[in-house]
Amino acid sequence: MEKGTLIIGGGVIGLSIGWRLRARGEPVTLLERGETGREASWAAAGMLAPVSEVHFQEDVNLRLGQESLRLYPEFVAELEAFTGKEVGYRREGGISVSLHADDTAELRHRFEYQQALDLPVEWLSATEVQNLAPALSHNVVAAVYSPADHQVDNRKLVTVLRCAFVQAGGILHEQTPVEEVRLLEDGPPAVRAGGREWRSEKLLLAAGSWSGMIPGLDGALRPWVRPVKGQILAVRAAPDLIRHNIRTPDVYIAPRADGRLVVGATVEEMGYNADLTVGGVFELLRGAWRAIPGVYEMPIHEIWCGFRPGSRDNAPILGETEIPGFFIATGHYRNGILNTPVTAKYMSELILAGTMPEILAPFSPARFSG
Ligand code: FAD
Ligand code: GLY
């Protein structure tokens, strides 16, 4: 048996926990089926928006997201200082807009809920929103500004996390799909990958939407995650035309430093169907054009899709299973980029110390038992 932790899956979750474990001196080996960071973590828009995206009655998710956002500046500073590479972290905030009266009623309802939760939000008139983001349509009737919501370039983030993991001494095996997990009498399961068996003191499953598909994990040990397809695209605009995350009832628009505007995303229960459809792309472009008329003239840069790992209650699954030494970190659904620092910090603490941090308690795999 090897010392340390074996990780299955090299997205933002597996890589960031691996990096944090290495920083504390833990030996870590990570097995990745393909190339690291090319699945959901690549497909995402990079919004760090727990305030704009608050859902009614999902207070534990909000708390997790807020804690992660609080950790973000230090997480990014440490990552960038360690690797010498930047991840495109921006703090401009988010603007949720309404384009007609029905939208305004919904926006107002959410605004009142955000206020009741003491979240930092500001109601803007049409004139105020034009001053803040002049490229927005003159049809914008009202808006809510969320200064606390931030953004990151998730493709840079996952690429830099890979560098940090390797630079910190993590052992990475790409093109090494885990084909089976074998339960043992003593200790965490062994895994079969790359024509051999791997066995470590601790095992962490972080295989995104594929986490429940590895043979050998049955019953209560199998995390129930499903793929939730998101079609998403990018258009090319002048840098700084848009600086905030923009959210309409139909789409969101996340700006990149080079001017690209990422427009997302569909939410489809289609299994692993990766088709890019006319309807999906049409709705995204129409939604973006309604919010920012100038989109009509912009070149399309890229269209892609990805699979969000969604659990039964759409909240993450974080913690130790009923087998001591076997941990799960998956099910981050629409917020895995946001929840990277909080997952990395507290899961690495749990793996090293063996005690469940309070913030992770609501997300324990045990909540699905029975
Ligand atoms: P992944 O990135 O999917 O990584 C899992 C890895 O495991 C993959 O590399 C895969 O190859 C590997 N793997 C799978 N099976 C095996 C195996 N058998 N053996 C070895 N390796 C295996 N979140 C936000 O916070 N903000 C956003 O704006 C945002 N926008 C999104 C937009 C879209 C369109 C999508 C699809 C997602 C978005 N998300 C967003 C969600 C976020 O992308 C995910 O929650 C997050 O990336 C999940 O990270 P992960 O590491 O768990 O999964
Ligand atoms: N959080 C954005 C998305 O999942 O599309």
Best mutation site among 245, 248, 252, 262 for ligand 2 pocket (most ligand atoms within 8 Å of CB): 252
Contact 306 CB / ligand 2 (< 6 Å): no
The residues near 24 (Cβ < 8 Å, ≥ 6 apart) are 348, 352
The residues near 171 (Cβ < 8 Å, ≥ 6 apart) are 27, 28, 29, 30
- 44 within domain boundaries: yes
Nearest CA to ligand 2 atom 5: 265
- 60 within domain boundaries: yes
Instruction: Write the DSSP string, 215-244.
Output: TT--GGGS---EEEEEEEEEEE--TTS--S
pLDDT at 188 over 90: yes
The values of phi and psi at residue 222, to 5°, are -90, 120
User: One-letter amino acid identity for 266?
Assistant: T
Q: In ligand 1, which atom is closest to the CA atom of 229?
A: 36
The residues near 129 (Cβ < 8 Å, ≥ 6 apart) are 95, 97, 136, 140, 142, 143, 145
Nearest CA to ligand 1 atom 31: 44
Per-residue pLDDT of 124-156, as tens digits, reads 999 999 999 999 999 999 999 999 999 999 999
249 and 214 inside one domain: no
| End-of-domain residue from the set 285, 310, 335 | 310
How many residues belong to the chain?
370
What's the structural domain count of the chain? 2
Per-residue pLDDT of 24-79, as tens digits, reads 999 999 999 999 999 999 999 999 999 998 888 778 899 999 999 999 999 999 99
Alpha carbon of 84 to those of 15, 80, 160, 255, 256: distances in Å? 17, 5, 9, 23, 20
161 and 212 inside one domain: yes
| 277: DSSP letter | P
Q: Report residue 18 as tokens.
A: 């691996």
The β-bridge partners of 247 are 96, 252
Helix (H/G/I), strand (E/B), else coil: 73: helix
pLDDT at 370 over 70: no
Contact 8 CB / ligand 1 (< 6 Å): yes
- 116 within domain boundaries: yes
**What is the per-residue pLDDT for 218?**
84
Alpha carbon of 321 to those of 93, 109, 302: distances in Å? 37, 39, 40
Contact 338 CB / ligand 2 (< 6 Å): no
Quick count: other Cβ atoms within 10 Å of Cβ 365?
Answer: 25
This prediction's pTM:
0.97
pLDDT at 102 over 90: no
Q: Under a CB-based contact definition with an 8 Å cutoff, are residues 192 and 182 in contact?
A: yes
Per-residue pLDDT of 230-261, as tens digits, reads 999 999 999 999 999 999 999 999 999 999 99
- The count of C-alpha atoms lying within 13 angstroms of the C-alpha of 54, restricted to the half-sphere facing its C-beta, is 29
160 and 67 inside one domain: yes
133 and 7 inside one domain: no
CATH of residue 265's domain is 3.30.9.10
Q: Report residue 196 as tokens.
A: 């051999």
The values of phi and psi at residue 267, to 5°, are -130, 105
Which residue range forms the structural domain that includes residue 176? 2-80+154-224+312-368
**What is the per-residue pLDDT for 304?**
98
d(CA 78, CA 86): 11
**What is the per-residue pLDDT for 212?**
95
- 255 within domain boundaries: yes
Contact 203 CB / ligand 2 (< 6 Å): no
Per-residue pLDDT of 351-369, as tens digits, reads 999 888 999 999 999 998 8
d(CA 138, CA 149): 24
The β-bridge partners of 253 are 246, 263
234 and 244 inside one domain: yes
d(CA 88, CA 134): 23
Per-residue pLDDT of 266-319, as tens digits, reads 999 999 999 999 999 999 999 999 999 999 999 999 999 999 999 999 999 999
* Pure H helices in 117-147: 126-132
State the pLDDT confidence band at 18, using cuts at 50, 70 and 90: very high
Best mutation site among 6, 7, 13, 155 for ligand 1 pocket (most ligand atoms within 8 Å of CB): 13
- 104 within domain boundaries: yes
Per-residue pLDDT of 198-235, as tens digits, reads 999 999 999 999 999 999 998 878 999 999 999 999 99
